[in-house]
């Protein structure tokens, strides 16, 4: 008779301010995947889902899917930090969780974070000089607090082996399915995704994140140009006209604009134009060529390339995913 293998424990960290909907959603996702795996084969690995919370100075289980009286085991093989909708956790509040996470990682556990859960994970120091992502709305705050992280907020999922970070608030489904794929296999992961009616991992955060220009940088001359560009949709503008609006010599304008906004003027204008194009693709049935002209591109082919580089999707695919109207026949080719 084959020996019964210990279940693979996945621990969800219930830190102060954590979004309970994500904690419960991940719990359900893993329980569903476990049921599907066992239905396919009694030899499939089993999952144990637990919640971990700070109580009387120690991080301990506050929920366990295993029956009462089961062996406590060696702790979770995977520890996940779900998202929060509030402000990022304070450093002193995160400290006991960070210590526990470092110990789990040293014991061989895989660590994962969703959205602002990255702030707790970063307190461990384990993200130093490593690639990571978070929700685009928290990216600047995370970069300021932890400048040594190689932050890439365009990516929805960064799987770095022993550490996985995901960006969007609802991207807990992506992280959950990625872990299911890792421990139970692709077939169980796809079956779980189909049952939950969610996309399997493979999306990018930039599909969803709008352009949010920096406006609180304190450079009044550059802010004046930003307002001017916004008002005219960045159409028919040149480096000379922007420098003239700022009252600066062109080289000085280029340097100050990039320092203030983080982008070159041409990149900034492209983001503004693509932002307007996204709105038109979502809310109108105009053809991609018409939209390209409307936002200031004489060459629709160039527009398509810029749009795909910034959003990660060609215009036709973007409309099919997010548009309220149906794509035109011309859009079917992108």
Reported as a single tens digit per residue, the pLDDT across 160-177 is: 888 999 998 899 999 999
- Cβ atoms within 10 Å, residue 215: 13
In a domain, 202, yes or no: no
Q: What is the pLDDT of residues 201-218, one digit of tens each?
A: 766 666 666 677 887 788
Helix (H) or strand (E) holding 113: strand 110-114
pLDDT exceeding 70 applies to what percent of the chain? 92
Q: Are 189 and 226 contained in the same domain? A: no
In a domain, 15, yes or no: yes
CATH classification of the domain holding 235: 1.10.10.60
The whole-number pLDDT of residue 70 equals: 67
The whole-number pLDDT of residue 202 equals: 65
In the block, tokens 């140009």 appear at 225
Q: What is the pTM of this model?
A: 0.67
Q: What is the pLDDT of residues 171-194, one digit of tens each?
A: 999 999 999 988 898 788 888 998
Comparison of pLDDT for 199 and 222, the residue scoring more: 222
Q: How far is residue 104's CA from residue 83's CA, in Å, rounded to a whole number?
A: 20
Q: What is the pLDDT of residues 59-73, one digit of tens each?
A: 999 999 987 766 777
Q: Are 128 and 248 contained in the same domain? A: no
In a domain, 212, yes or no: no
Q: Are 151 and 35 contained in the same domain? A: yes
In a domain, 31, yes or no: yes
The sign of the torsion formed by the CA atoms of 82, 85, 91, 95 equals negative
Res. 253 pLDDT band, cuts 50 70 90: very high
Closest-CA residue to 196 (of 173, 214, 169, 180): 173
Q: What is the pLDDT of residues 279-333, one digit of tens each?
A: 788 778 899 999 999 999 999 999 999 999 998 889 999 888 877 654 454 454 5
In a domain, 333, yes or no: no
Mean pLDDT calculated for residue range 261-287: 89
The whole-number pLDDT of residue 1 equals: 39
In a domain, 205, yes or no: no
Q: Are 46 and 172 contained in the same domain? A: yes
Residues 334, 317 contacting (CB under 8 angstroms): yes
Q: Are 41 and 164 contained in the same domain? A: yes
Mean pLDDT calculated for residue range 137-150: 95
Closest-CA residue to 312 (of 212, 208, 214, 201): 208
Q: Are 316 and 185 contained in the same domain? A: no
The whole-number pLDDT of residue 71 equals: 73
In a domain, 305, yes or no: yes
Closest-CA residue to 262 (of 295, 216, 305): 216
Q: What is the mean pLDDT of the chain?
A: 89
Full domain range(s) for residue 279: 220-322
Residues 270, 306 contacting (CB under 8 angstroms): yes
Q: How far is residue 153's CA from residue 157's CA, in Å, rounded to a whole number?
A: 9
Q: Are 45 and 97 contained in the same domain? A: yes
Among 196, 211, 242, identify where a domain stops.
196
Q: Are 158 and 20 contained in the same domain? A: yes
The whole-number pLDDT of residue 18 equals: 96
The whole-number pLDDT of residue 330 equals: 47
Number of domains the chain contains: 2
Res. 239 pLDDT band, cuts 50 70 90: very high
Mean pLDDT calculated for residue range 234-251: 94
Burial group, residue 219, by CB count within 10 angstroms (0-12, 13-18, 19+): middle
| Cβ-Cβ contacts under 8 Å for 90 (sequence gap 6 or more) | none
Q: Are 128 and 232 contained in the same domain? A: no
For 260-288, b where at least 16 C-beta lie within 10 A, e where not — what string?
Answer: bbebebeebbbbbbbbbbbebbeeeebbb
Q: Are 190 and 61 contained in the same domain? A: yes
Distance of CA 193 to the CA centre of its chain: 18
Residues 137, 111 contacting (CB under 8 angstroms): no
Q: What is the pLDDT of residues 224-238, one digit of tens each?
A: 998 889 878 888 899
CATH classification of the domain holding 15: 3.40.50.880
SS3 of residue 304 by DSSP: helix
For 174-186, b where at least 16 C-beta lie within 10 A, e where not — what string?
Answer: bbbbbbbbebbbe
Q: Please determine, for residue 2, whether its predicted confidence score (pLDDT) is greater than 60.
A: no
Among 181, 196, 211, identify where a domain stops.
196
Q: How far is residue 83's CA from residue 109's CA, in Å, rounded to a whole number?
A: 20
Closest-CA residue to 51 (of 102, 120, 97, 85): 97
Q: Are 38 and 101 contained in the same domain? A: yes
In a domain, 209, yes or no: no
Q: Are 29 and 150 contained in the same domain? A: yes
Closest-CA residue to 16 (of 53, 50, 57): 53
Q: What is the pLDDT of residues 5-53, one digit of tens each?
A: 789 999 999 999 999 999 999 999 999 999 999 998 888 899 999 999 9
């Amino acid at each position: 008779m084959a020996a019964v293998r210990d279940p693979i424990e996945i621990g969800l960290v219930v830190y102060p301010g954590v979004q309970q909907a994500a904690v419960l959603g991940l719990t359900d996702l893993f329980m569903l995947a476990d049921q599907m795996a066992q239905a396919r084969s009694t030899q499939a690995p089993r999952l144990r889902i637990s919640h971990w919370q700070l109580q009387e100075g120690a991080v301990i289980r506050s929920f366990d899917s295993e029956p009462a009286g089961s062996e406590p085991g060696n702790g979770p093989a995977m520890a996940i930090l779900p998202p929060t909708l509030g402000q990022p956790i304070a450093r002193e509040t995160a400290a006991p969780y960070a210590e526990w996470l470092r110990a789990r990682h040293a014991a061989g556990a895989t660590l994962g974070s969703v959205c602002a859960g990255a702030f707790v994970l970063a307190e461990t120091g384990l993200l130093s000089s490593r690639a990571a992502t978070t929700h685009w709305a928290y990216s600047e705050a995370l970069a300021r607090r932890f400048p040594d992280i190689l932050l890439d907020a365009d990516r929805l999922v960064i799987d770095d082996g022993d550490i996985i970070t995901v960006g969007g608030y609802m991207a807990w489904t992506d992280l959950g399915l990625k872990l299911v794929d890792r421990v139970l296999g692709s077939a169980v992961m796809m079956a779980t995704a189909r049952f939950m009616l969610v996309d399997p991992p493979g999306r990018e955060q930039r599909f969803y994140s709008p352009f949010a220009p920096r406006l609180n940088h304190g450079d009044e001359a550059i802010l004046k140009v930003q307002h001017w560009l916004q008002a005219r949709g960045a159409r028919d503008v040149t480096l000379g006209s922007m420098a003239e609006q700022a009252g600066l010599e062109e080289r000085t304008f280029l340097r100050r604009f990039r320092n203030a906004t983080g982008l070159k003027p041409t990149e900034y204008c492209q983001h503004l134009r693509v932002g307007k194009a996204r709105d038109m693709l979502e809310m109108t049935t105009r053809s991609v060529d018409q939209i390209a002209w409307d936002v200031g591109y004489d060459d629709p082919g160039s527009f398509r390339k810029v749009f795909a580089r910034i959003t990660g999707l060609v215009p036709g695919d973007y409309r099919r995913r997010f548009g309220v109207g149906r794509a035109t026949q011309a859009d079917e080719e992108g």
